[in-house]
Amino acid sequence: MPSSFGLLLTGSPTDLAVLREVARDHPGLLGAPWWVSPVGEHLALVPVEGGSDAAREPWVPVELDPREARRAAHLFEAIPPRAVPGEAIPDEACFLASVAEPAARLLVERLLRLGRDDARLAELEAPEGRRLLVVLERPPLYLLMRARDEAEGVRVYTRHRATPLWVAWGFAHPLAELAAAHLDGGAALVDGDGTWRRLAEAPGGAPIADHVRAVLDPPRETWSAAPGRTRFDVPLRLVPAAPLDPELWLLDADAFLRLEGLVAHASPDALNRLTVGRLRAGDGSVRYALRERPGRGAALGAQVAELLGQPGLARVTGTDGLYIPVDRRLEPPVGLAELRRVLALEDAPLVVLDEQDGAPRLVHLAAAPDAPLSSWVEYAATDRREALDAAFERMVFEVSEPVVERAAPPRAAPPTPGARRSEKRRRRRPWLPRLVDAVTDRLDPADVRVARARAAELQPRILEGGCDEAAVWRALGEALGVLGDGDDAALCLEAAAFLGDEEAPALLGELGGRQDDEAAVEAATCEAPTPLQASRLGARVLADLGAGRPLLDGLGARVLQLFTQPGLPVSRRLSWAVQRTLHAQSGDRLGLTRSREALVGALNVDGLREACDAPRFVRTALALGDTEATVVRGDQAAALRGLWGILEAGLGDGDPQALLYRAAFAVGFQRLGDGEMSRPLAELVEEESPVHDAPVQALARLYLGSIGADDEGREDRLEAACERLSPAEARAARFFVRKSRWLSPAGPPEQMTMGAYEAELAELEATPTALPGWVEGVLAAKSGYDAHIARAAVRAMWVALGTGSEELVEGMLAAALGGIDRLTLLAPRAELAGAALRAAALVSDEGAVDALVGEVTGLAPRMEAVGQLLSAIGPALAALRRVGASDSSDRFLAALWQVARRPHDEAPKVGAFLAEGYWLAGNAGRAEAAIDEVEARVLGDELRHLPRYEGAAAMLDALRSWPLEARRERAERLLLALPRFNDAFTTRRWLDVLRVLLVEGVVDAIADARTFASARLRRWLEAEEQVTRRRVLKDWRRFG
């Protein structure tokens, strides 16, 4: 063996530098054979051929000991791996064992025991015998340690990054990268002692199952299927159960007539939900089937049952038409097919199983009750719509004959004339109120046609909102009076009188017949007059004073006292008209000022009230569009079906979200009364639920349980659902529920504390004139927290607004504007600025509005919490709209537009806010542009997952004011992009929270008619409020 120059490895970090130098200067030596020999504590390496012929760094003279030296095939093999401290779990490992040894079998058994059936096994022919190679990712630490610790014959290697070089676990090769590059398509296993094993190809193999033969040799026996089927007779019976809401009643004629009480005051929606069928029983008697269909609002079942004195029948879950008594259930539960057979459910659309004389009775209804109860009713007269308390007792029979008359009797013969006459006789009462008689007497078909045409012509003008033409209101009031719609006629005539129409008071007085003296005194002196009493009293006062008739002694003072009350249930217009007329008669300028302040204060706090100030035709038209409620619901249901089709098409098998999507859409269809869609979806959810993870199951149950349930029980339902979950699962379920708008329990109202200011303010509320000085002092002293100061100032502002005193509000605005910059925290400052802006708008203080719009728009770009900003300025924007300050409102929105266009996570939220703002302000072009921009951002690439979802949710919320088709189109695009709505919550193990929440939002956007209605109505009320404010101010100035 030659004495030569070689390398001396010391085990220090310099070794690596030495080896790299050799690799750089002598690349040919890397794959050439080397002599390796220990020299003391070091390791000497000498190339068999080549190398350096002189002692220059890193080459040193080396004398090899022939007894110690070994020949390595290449440099990498010559260098032993070095030990690495710790027991890190590698990404990938392979285990090597002799197939002939028990160790291989034990290894496979342990892998299976630890659930690692993802391992891949290969068998290799090696010189020392057949070897088993097991490769798996993220190997169990136990097996790694076991292979390392125990001399069982299992070796374990970890892969060096993604290279074909595998080094013993706990070791690393200093030249791993270079060594891997020289493997030429094969792979190598390197032991801790430096032994190399070459593999012709990279480790891989077959699934572990292919290498396992389960061994069990128990005594065997085989059972074969027996022919035929044994049927066991199980008696089906009705047993007591927790009562359900009734949905069906079988009534005789007397019971049916008791519905008059309901018919007289039920809403159109309710009357559409109740359907009736007229049937002939086996004994020839006429019976009525009354059914309640699902719909919006609270169920009517309990109310109807109480009225009829019959608990009614409830549908058996899972069936379409089987009804049993509400407090019974079928025992034992049997399959639907068996129920169909035994009860012959296919023979009739509805089947009733109830009890008669203690024995079961089966009734097949040949025709389903499908004519809406509303179609059985013809209103010949009505009365003041708000008289639902004391007046109800008299109004029960004011629905004139024939009250119950089927318009299009389905599948049953019409009642015989004789029978109808006898029904008429039973219903007729000798003491019909005079009002009804009077109106009924005026009805003439020709007049009705003319009036109907006139009303149809004028109503659109009113529906536009902000109508200040007295003649239009009066003409419409007259037409509606002819048509017998006393309520709306009165409201229209009150508006006409308010706007100064001279004929309106007389017409108003005639509408229901002049209130007699006794009734007038009673209405004026009773503690709380009914709406009917109050409005007729107002009408009488206006009519008498308009005609120059003197009022009864003392009546004027009492009426003034009464009509100054902000909570009096009459229209604000009538209230002002009465007060204005009385003050004008007495020449009381100060009194008129007080009345004005009271009315303006009420407007500041509550605005116009839907129930008192909006005629029914306005509420109906704006709530339901131009069509009937059912048509609107049908459109909504069709839109929702379309969206469901899109979502369903993209669902994959086993998608955990699928269950929740179905549940969410089932809720949506149920809201729209679309049982054809909601029931199968709910049943599918029930059916598929068991294959899903427990938290997903629980959430699906919560969704289905939310149908028809009230908000108050949410907490209890959540707790019940979490009882069966593990703590981790329950945490996941609670996390989702907290974020869900449908499932999250309504917490107690947030306590907006004001600290020490609370008590001081409570005392000052009795003397509001001191408030501006107090607020000024509080802001100047700034002795408390900014949040407390801001809330106290906002509260004081509200008190001032409630007084209706412009002077006081101006004082408050001056105090707020003077000291607002004392607040250094932006959120409280925005809160106060928003409240002040609202106040400034309501008192039409343009200077203050300008200053505050500047203040808020200045704050907006600096505020990081956009949510706080929007909640602070939202009411201010609404106030600007209400008072018609469109310029300020536009400027305000334009400033926010700049915030919305900034590349900011919360920009879409601002954009959605803007879009809704523009839409409600009637600027559809801007609104569309804003919502387009929001959508583009939400579906674009720049947002992270959470802002993306929040932007989409804000967009869906804003869209509720849009027409149905626009909502549907945008919701569809969101659904198509649903896979983009990822999240990084720990709950991902079970479900993608944000996707499900987005689906919730989509369903809400389509199937929540209430918000849709309220947005349009709100706009109408805001427009009318502007007219009211302008007129009140004009009257007051004119009088002065």
Partner 1 sequence: MAETWTFEELDREIDDVRERILRHGRHLQRWFVAREAEVELALVCACAQEPLLLVGPPGTAKSDLVLKLVESLGLGPEDYFEYMLTKFTEPSEILGPIDLEQLKGGRFRRRVEGMLPTAAVVFLDEIFKSNSAILNTLLTVLNERKFYQDGEPVPVAMKLLFAATNDIPEQSELEALADRFVLKIETRPVKDRAFDELVRAGMRNEALRAVGARPWADGPASLTDLLKFKRYMDLSFADEGEERDRWCPPAVFAELRRVVRVLETEDKVYVSDRKVVKLYKLVRTRAFLTHGGAVQHDDLRLLRYIGNQRHELPVVEDKVNRLLGLA
According to the binding rule CB under 8 A, does residue 453 interact with partner 1?
no
According to the binding rule CB under 8 A, does residue 89 interact with partner 1?
yes
User: Given candidates 142, 526, 627, 713, which one binds partner 1 under the rule CB under 8 A?
Assistant: 142
Of 145 and 302, which has the nearer Cβ to partner 1? 145
**End-to-end alpha carbon distance in the chain:** 127
User: Given candidates 16, 17, 83, 141, which one binds partner 1 under the rule CB under 8 A?
Assistant: 141
Of 149 and 527, which has the nearer Cβ to partner 1? 149
CB of 49 to partner 1, least distance (A): 46
Of 142 and 965, which has the nearer Cβ to partner 1? 142
Of 726 and 753, which has the nearer Cβ to partner 1? 726
Contact 968, 1006 (CB under 8 A): yes
Stretch that binds partner 1, among 112-120, 392-400, 438-446, 1029-1037 (CB under 8 A): 112-120
Contact 48, 33 (CB under 8 A): yes
Of 127 and 727, which has the nearer Cβ to partner 1? 727
Q: Which residue has the tokens 């379309």?
A: 642
According to the binding rule CB under 8 A, does residue 91 interact with partner 1?
no
Side chain identity at residue 930, one-letter code: A
Helices (H), 883-1008: 886-901, 907-920, 924-939, 945-959, 964-976, 993-1007
| Residue 38, beta-bridge partner list | 43
Helices (H), 564-693: 572-586, 589-606, 610-613, 616-624, 629-649, 656-671, 675-688
According to the binding rule CB under 8 A, does residue 846 interact with partner 1?
no
User: Given candidates 28, 115, 227, 282, which one binds partner 1 under the rule CB under 8 A?
Assistant: 115
According to the binding rule CB under 8 A, does residue 137 interact with partner 1?
no
According to the binding rule CB under 8 A, does residue 282 interact with partner 1?
no
Distance (Å, rounded) from C-alpha 944 to C-alpha 290? 54
Contact 350, 363 (CB under 8 A): no
According to the binding rule CB under 8 A, does residue 567 interact with partner 1?
no
Report the candidate in 774, 772, 769 with the shortest Cα–Cα distance to residue 759: 774
Strand, helix or coil at 137?
Answer: strand
Stretch that binds partner 1, among 113-121, 228-236, 304-312, 545-553 (CB under 8 A): 113-121
Distance (Å, rounded) from C-alpha 684 to C-alpha 700? 11
Of 83 and 298, which has the nearer Cβ to partner 1? 83
Distance (Å, rounded) from C-alpha 294 to C-alpha 637? 13
CB of 727 to partner 1, least distance (A): 5
Length of the chain: 1040
Stretch that binds partner 1, among 144-152, 268-276, 403-411, 936-944 (CB under 8 A): 144-152
Distance from CA of residue 431 to its chain's centroid?
A: 51
Strands 34-39 and 70-72 turn out to be antiparallel
Buried b (16+ CB within 10 A) or exposed e, 869-907: bbebbeebbbbbbbbbbeebbbbbbebbbebbeeebbbb
Mark residues 409-428: x for contact with partner 1 by CB under 8 A, - for none.
--------------------
Contact 125, 214 (CB under 8 A): no
Helices (H), 362-485: 390-395, 417-427, 434-442, 445-463, 470-482
CB of 921 to partner 1, least distance (A): 52
User: Given candidates 146, 692, 788, 960, which one binds partner 1 under the rule CB under 8 A?
Assistant: 146
Of 139 and 656, which has the nearer Cβ to partner 1? 139
User: Given candidates 65, 68, 150, 648, which one binds partner 1 under the rule CB under 8 A?
Assistant: 150
Distance (Å, rounded) from C-alpha 887 to C-alpha 850? 10
Mark residues 903-942: x for contact with partner 1 by CB under 8 A, - for none.
----------------------------------------
According to the binding rule CB under 8 A, does residue 1011 interact with partner 1?
no
Report the candidate in 775, 769, 739 with the shortest Cα–Cα distance to residue 757: 775
CB of 91 to partner 1, least distance (A): 15
Of 142 and 416, which has the nearer Cβ to partner 1? 142
Stretch that binds partner 1, among 137-145, 182-190, 471-479, 910-918 (CB under 8 A): 137-145
According to the binding rule CB under 8 A, does residue 825 interact with partner 1?
no
Distance (Å, rounded) from C-alpha 780 to C-alpha 769? 19
Please tell me the count of residues contacting partner 1 according to CB under 8 A. Answer: 16
According to the binding rule CB under 8 A, does residue 161 interact with partner 1?
no
Contact 537, 559 (CB under 8 A): yes
Side chain identity at residue 620, one-letter code: T
Stretch that binds partner 1, among 108-116, 367-375, 465-473, 781-789 (CB under 8 A): 108-116
CB of 109 to partner 1, least distance (A): 8
Residues 28-87, interacting with partner 1 (CB under 8 A): 87
CB of 335 to partner 1, least distance (A): 27
Distance (Å, rounded) from C-alpha 888 to C-alpha 878? 12
User: Given candidates 149, 653, 687, 710, which one binds partner 1 under the rule CB under 8 A?
Assistant: 149
Take residue 771 and report the two structure tokens written for it.
Answer: 């408030």
CB of 730 to partner 1, least distance (A): 10
According to the binding rule CB under 8 A, does residue 986 interact with partner 1?
no
Take residue 382 and report the two structure tokens written for it.
Answer: 């009505």
CB of 146 to partner 1, least distance (A): 6
Mark residues 485-504: x for contact with partner 1 by CB under 8 A, - for none.
--------------------
Stretch that binds partner 1, among 33-41, 136-144, 377-385, 435-443 (CB under 8 A): 136-144
427 CB-near residues (< 8 Å, 6+ apart): 257, 260, 397, 401, 403
Of 525 and 726, which has the nearer Cβ to partner 1? 726
CB of 835 to partner 1, least distance (A): 42
- Output 771-776 pairs: Cβ under 8 A, ≥24 positions apart: 771/796, 771/799, 771/800, 771/808, 771/811, 771/812, 772/800, 772/808, 772/811, 772/812, 772/814, 772/815, 773/815, 775/812, 775/815, 775/816, 775/819, 776/814, 776/815, 776/818, 776/819
CB of 150 to partner 1, least distance (A): 7
According to the binding rule CB under 8 A, does residue 145 interact with partner 1?
yes
| Residue 97, beta-bridge partner list | 132, 154
According to the binding rule CB under 8 A, does residue 117 interact with partner 1?
no
Report the candidate in 799, 867, 803, 805 with the shortest Cα–Cα distance to residue 831: 867
CB of 87 to partner 1, least distance (A): 7
CB of 114 to partner 1, least distance (A): 6
- Other residues' Cβ atoms within 10 Å of the Cβ of residue 786: 18
Residues 685-744, interacting with partner 1 (CB under 8 A): 726-728
Take residue 929 and report the two structure tokens written for it.
Answer: 């542009």
According to the binding rule CB under 8 A, does residue 874 interact with partner 1?
no
Contact 312, 247 (CB under 8 A): yes
Of 140 and 243, which has the nearer Cβ to partner 1? 140
According to the binding rule CB under 8 A, does residue 755 interact with partner 1?
no
According to the binding rule CB under 8 A, does residue 114 interact with partner 1?
yes
Strand, helix or coil at 640?
Answer: helix
According to the binding rule CB under 8 A, does residue 254 interact with partner 1?
no
Stretch that binds partner 1, among 111-119, 520-528, 576-584, 830-838 (CB under 8 A): 111-119
Of 114 and 456, which has the nearer Cβ to partner 1? 114
Of 151 and 446, which has the nearer Cβ to partner 1? 151
Binding residues for partner 1, per CB under 8 A?
87, 89, 110, 113-115, 140-142, 145-146, 149-150, 726-728
